[in-house]
Amino acid sequence: MSIEFDQGKAYTVDRGAPKARNGQGMLAGMGVVFKHFRDAMTKKLDNPSEISGVFTVQYPEERYKLPEAARNFPILLYEDASGQELCTSCFQCERICPPQVIHITQAKDPVSGKAVPAIAEFLIEYDACMSCGLCAEVCPFDAIKMDHEYELSTDVHGGLTIDRAGLMRPISYYEQLAPSFWAEVKDGALKKLQGAIKRRSGLVGIAPQMVEVLKKREPSIQESGVGSQNTAIQNPEPRTEPIELRTQNPEPPSPPTPLPVGEERRSRGEGIAATTEAATPVPTAPASSITDTTAPATAPAIPAPSGDARAEKAAKLVAIRAANAKKNETPEGTP
Amino acid sequence: MTDLLRSIIQDAWPFWLISLIASLITITIIMLAAVGTMMLMVWLERRVVARMQDRLGPNRVGPAGLLQSIADGVKMFTKEDIVPRAADQWVHMLAPIVVVSPVVLIFAVVPWGRGVSPSDFGNGVLFVLAISSISAIGLMMAGWSSSNKFAMLGAMRAVAQLISYEIPAVLALLSAVIVSGSMQLARMPELQGGWPLVGTTLGGPDLGLGWFVFTPVGLVGFVIFFIAILAEGERTPFDIPEADSEIVAGHTTEYSGMKFALFYIGQYVLNFVLSMVATVVFLGGWQGPLLAQLAIGNLAPLGGLLSLVYMLIKVWGLFFVMIWLRGALPRLRVDQLMDFAWKLLLPIALINLFSAALWVTINLWGSSPAWTIKVIIPVVSIDLLGWLETASPIVRQITALIVTAALNIAAIRWVLAINRRTEDEEPEEAMLDVLEQRVA
């Protein structure tokens, strides 16, 4: 029933006639509590909305799977096999960053000294980052993404300013974090990377942690007459022989396990000039091999080409390279 | 302990030295047992209450979190001992000692198992009641010397509560004392052998189940005593003296470090030792099945061990009920607490005392001249209870059971009835009256 008065309405609940409760209410309450006690000893709930049973997630041992859209701090992506970075140093993220914690240094062409679309250094101050994710939103090349890693605490002052080597993650790492998100942008991102490689393959940045890996792989590539230290070298016909090139790589690309944060921090990335000069396994960039990042070990069944074919191909490549070099120098030399 | 030492050392050392050493050993064991028990109790309470609230409780330090209390103890030891400038330094320092020491003293008279009693003391019940009241002085000292309003309020509440609940506790114990005819705590369990309800009066194999709690008098006495020790130990729902949502931490507000830990130890040990007293007096103490059969010969040590196990199971069971109540019940208000003690427990305890007297009268009538009362009416002398002298023990037991049970049930019904809120006092009704007046 309810009664209206000046200040509003008052409701009372009709509990029936008052009766003597000789402790039954207390016993009922104790029964409920005991049921919880019993269930908590025996039941482990997955769904906290169930009535009784333990639903504690014991954090360091157990953890919830983060949703794909979870975002903590930004990371940069590189292509798994070739180590080529997706970032073109367009400065969009640096501009939009609200707390201005992103600092990009653009790479310079070692010959001409002009700025090129690659990064020399990329710093993010994680300690001041507000995890808004705007950098990932705005990036036209899908090169910067939000990581799920959250156990970053450190007692090193300045230890949360992460450099290029510490930021770089293989695409497969991000794909495993957010498969559906990556599937949406995958084609576009790889197409843009392909475009960059096609136009100026020697200038595409290589992830610092991949430099050593690629160097090791280099001899076999040189043997095939495809790889070279020349920065100006490009791959003239990437689409014709993707499978062959992969067969000649003796070891498949190392699994995409990023280093722990501490170690990444210690290994300062080298400048782009050094990396591009050191190792440029340029030809390993056909579209099919890039898109097929998860299963590089499927190829070895196909036999290697014969010596004749190899020599022929090498001759062809040298000719095309020379032509390309000329073509590249002309526009860059005359601004 | 003294006898044990004498048997080992023979007469090489003087008697006083052996007594002294034996006493020191006993004291050491008691102190260690007290502190160890307290740590285990804190762990158990935290784990059990956590499960009742669908949590896990401390499970990181040591196996299943067992060492959590030790970690807490280390923390307490390393804390700074802060004494407020306005505090009465000496009283402030003495208060924890005054609170804890009587509590530990109670251990001296409580038997742990058959033949395992620190001190065989003739007036054990009296000693327990006298000693446990001393804590109230310590609480008052703590609250007063802190010169803090919360501490003062907490101490006031604690003392009021202790004094109020002492009386039902005493009356409940007294009923057991009347029935058993002994104040010796160490002897109480021995008197509770035999069969449920009838004890050893009818003969037959000794089941070890003649606990007082199985008689109507003992049941009511046990419930009253248990409620009273909840209040004396400041357990929920009677944790008013340290109601943290109202008065910070009560009398311990201005205490830190080991002094605070002493209050904490004191409270838990008091809970434990009062549970022990309740067990010994009402739940048969170390008495249990198979003990009588293991009393003689080579099996005696095994029997002793079994008696210790029975005792500990009962005491920890009582403590579990305390935890259970803490998980289930909210805190009472101060006036509710006082009402409960004076209007409900005290009348029932008094009537229970009368029931106890009746129980003994009916069972023992005629067995000694002291029990034979004749009602003298000017003309003729009638022996009102004379027929009991000739009745068989079983008839007497049944008569006693019926009389005391009827009396106790009637008493409880009556006390509940007179305490019931009348219909026009219902809070809903009262509110409606107020609102109706406002509307008008």
Average pLDDT, stretch B201-209?
73
A22 in contact with B at a CB cutoff of 8 Å? Answer: yes
Average pLDDT, stretch B34-60?
87
Domain count of chain B?
2
Which of B51, B77, B103 corresponds to the end of one domain?
B77
- Inter-chain contact A12–B432, Cβ cutoff 8 Å? yes
How close is the nearest chain A Cα to the Cα of B50, in Å? 8
Say how far apart CA A69 and CA B119 lie, in whole Å: 70
Give the confidence band of B267 by pLDDT, cuts at 50, 70, 90: confident
Q: What is the pLDDT of residue B136?
A: 85
Rg of chain A over Cα atoms, rounded to whole angstroms, equals: 29
Does B369 fall in a domain?
no
Q: Which of A3, A10, A36 sits opposite B54 (nearest CB)?
A: A36
**With contacts defined as CB-CB under 8 Å, which chain A residues touch B58?**
none
Q: Which secondary structure element, helix H or strand E, spans residue A108, and what is its range? A: strand A102-108
Average pLDDT, stretch B345-362?
88
Which of B77, B108, B130 corresponds to the end of one domain?
B77
Say how far apart CA A251 and CA B212 lie, in whole Å: 83
Highest mean pLDDT among A260-269, B61-70, B413-422: B61-70
* Residue B279 and residue B179 share a domain: yes
Q: What is the pLDDT of residue A335?
A: 42
Average pLDDT, stretch B99-125?
82
- Inter-chain contact B324–A41, Cβ cutoff 8 Å? no
User: Are the CB atoms for A141 and A90 separated by under 8 Å?
Assistant: yes
Which is higher by pLDDT, B59 or A323?
A: B59
Q: Is the pLDDT of residue B290 over 90?
A: no
Q: Which of B44, B49, B52 to mutate to test the interface with A (most CBs of A within 10 A)?
A: B52
Give the confidence band of B378 by pLDDT, cuts at 50, 70, 90: low
Q: How long, in residues, is chain A?
A: 335
Q: What is the pLDDT of residue A295?
A: 41
Q: What is the pLDDT of residue A110?
A: 79
Average pLDDT, stretch B375-402?
69
Does B384 fall in a domain?
no
* Residue B73 and residue B92 share a domain: no
Domain extent, residue B274, equals 79-351
* Residue B103 and residue B219 share a domain: yes
Name the residue among B155, B312, B183 with its Cα closest to residue B241.
Answer: B155
Q: Is the pLDDT of residue B381 over 80?
A: no
- Inter-chain contact B48–A37, Cβ cutoff 8 Å? yes
Does B5 fall in a domain?
yes
A61 in contact with B at a CB cutoff of 8 Å? Answer: no
Q: Is the pLDDT of residue B305 over 60?
A: yes
* Residue B170 and residue B301 share a domain: yes
Q: Is A138 exposed, middle or buried (0-12, 13-18, 19+ CB in 10 A)?
A: middle
Say how far apart CA A9 and CA A27 lie, in whole Å: 35
For the ranges B13-27, B314-328, B381-395, the lowest mean pLDDT is seen at B381-395
**With contacts defined as CB-CB under 8 Å, which chain A residues touch B423?**
17-18
Q: What is the pLDDT of residue A99?
A: 92
Highest mean pLDDT among B238-252, B306-320, B410-424: B306-320
Q: Is the pLDDT of residue B225 over 90?
A: yes
Which is higher by pLDDT, B8 or B100?
A: B100
B55 in contact with A at a CB cutoff of 8 Å? Answer: yes
**With contacts defined as CB-CB under 8 Å, which chain B residues touch A40?**
50-52, 54-55
Q: What is the pLDDT of residue B224?
A: 92
Tokens of B415: 């006390």
Which of B60, B77, B94 corresponds to the end of one domain?
B77
Does B373 fall in a domain?
no
Q: What is the pLDDT of residue A248?
A: 41
Does B431 fall in a domain?
no
* Residue B185 and residue B322 share a domain: yes
User: CA of B191: how far to CAs of A294, B287, B290, B361, in Å?
Assistant: 81, 9, 16, 17
Q: What is the pLDDT of residue B350?
A: 92
* Residue B45 and residue B130 share a domain: no
* Neighbouring-strand partners of residue A280: none
* Residue B100 and residue B226 share a domain: yes
A57 in contact with B at a CB cutoff of 8 Å? Answer: no
* Residue B216 and residue B198 share a domain: yes
Say how far apart CA B88 and CA B144 lie, in whole Å: 8
Low-confidence ranges of chain A (pLDDT < 70): 1-3, 13-22, 47-50, 218-309, 327-335
User: Are the CB atoms for B280 and B113 separated by under 8 Å?
Assistant: no
Does B424 fall in a domain?
no
**With contacts defined as CB-CB under 8 Å, which chain A residues touch B432?**
3, 12
* Residue B191 and residue B54 share a domain: no
Does B434 fall in a domain?
no
Mean pLDDT of all residues belonging to chain B: 82
A6 in contact with B at a CB cutoff of 8 Å? Answer: yes
Which is higher by pLDDT, A118 or B432?
A: A118
Q: What is the pLDDT of residue A299?
A: 40
Average pLDDT, stretch B273-280?
90
Q: What is the pLDDT of residue B336?
A: 82
User: CA of B372: how far to CAs of B191, B376, B378, B383, B387, in Å?
Assistant: 24, 12, 19, 9, 12
Does B400 fall in a domain?
no
